[in-house]
Amino acid sequence: MVSKELRIGNYTSKGVVYQIEEDCFYTSTDGVSYKNKWAKINPIPLTPEILKINKFVFDIATGTYWLNMSTHYLELLPAGGYWWPAYTSIPEMSSESEQRVSFCRIQSVHQLQNLYFALTGEELEVNLT
């Protein structure tokens, strides 16, 4: 992983990121803090199990996982070892049509967290267990 991919609050193989510096970053796991070098970090792969734990619903008809957020939703299509995200805004007026945007593929939990933040301005609370 590289530093530009991480944000404070991202989940990694070394715990949750709470501080980022040029040559290292700091994580915390179960109340214990760790100083990490960039070369020794791995992303957490995004899996159907993690999505289900975090309130994504599987749509058997389309083969996608989606997270309903009242006036919009985030949809993830698994294909070729990647997740292909799409974000759909549901109009408030019945005369308007849905607005849908697709994004580049993702593979890991921190990428999903970053995408969610970019779309909503809010953190995606993640549970890994």
Of residues 44 and 68, more confidence is placed in: 44
d(CA 44, CA 127): 12
DSSP-assigned letter for residue 43: P
d(CA 66, CA 87): 9
d(CA 73, CA 50): 18
Q: Are 107 and 117 in contact (CB under 8 A)?
A: no
Q: What is the pLDDT of residues 62-97, one digit of tens each?
A: 999 999 877 788 999 999 999 999 998 877 766 677
Predicted pLDDT at 95: 67
